[in-house]
């Protein structure tokens, strides 16, 4: 695909995968690319990338923490800070909810890709053991 057909540039899909044509997959549109960037950011643990040690939202680590109002507040602050720092030019965060139900943690992000009025919701859910 040429950049003319993808005005937002050529990007690899996340997670990385190969299409039926043998080429690396790319996001279908910019909205999908922003969603992929959010997922990649939040599922990356800070310190995981050697040359960008501050990059990441650390959502995967939540499962190992005891559920509390303090953790909920810290998680919301950490995710908000990561989204604003790394993707603030790509999206507007409209709402962020972190909830605990028994051993299940749910993170719901309502955002709007930059330059659009199209609100989107992305949910992460993880059940503990």
Query: Which of the four pLDDT bands, split at 50, 70 and 90, describes residue 5?
Result: very low
CA angle 25, 114, 39 (to 5 degrees): 45
The pLDDT tens digits for 62-113 are 777 777 788 888 889 999 999 999 999 989 999 999 998 877 888 999 999 9
Q: Give the Å distances, CA to CA, from 93 to 57, 67, 78, 88.
A: 14, 24, 13, 8
Give the strands of the sheet with 91-101, arranged side by side: 91-101, 104-113, 120-127
Q: Determine contact, residues 105/98, Cβ cutoff 8 Å.
A: yes
Q: Which CATH class is domain 30-127?
A: alpha beta
The pLDDT tens digits for 69-82 are 888 888 899 999 99
What percentage of the chain has pLDDT greater than the value 70?
A: 81
Distance between CA 3 and CA 62 in Å, rounded?
38
Q: Decide: pTM greater than 0.85.
A: no
Query: What is the token pair recorded at 7?
Result: 């005005």
Where are the chain's structural domains?
A: 30-127
DSSP state of 17: -
């Amino acid at each position: 695909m040429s950049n003319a057909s993808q005005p937002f540039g050529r990007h690899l899909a996340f997670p990385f995968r190969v299409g039926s044509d043998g080429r690396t997959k790319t996001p279908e549109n910019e909205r999908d690319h922003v969603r992929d960037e959010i997922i990649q950011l939040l599922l990356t643990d800070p310190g995981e990338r050697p040359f960008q040690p501050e990059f990441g939202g650390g959502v995967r680590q939540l499962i190992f923490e005891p559920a509390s109002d303090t953790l909920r507040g810290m998680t919301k602050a950490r995710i908000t800070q990561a989204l604003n720092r790394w993707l603030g030019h790509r999206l507007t965060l409209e709402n962020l909810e972190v909830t605990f139900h028994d051993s299940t943690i749910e993170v719901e992000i309502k955002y709007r890709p930059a330059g659009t009025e199209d609100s989107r919701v992305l949910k992460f859910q993880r059940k503990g053991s």
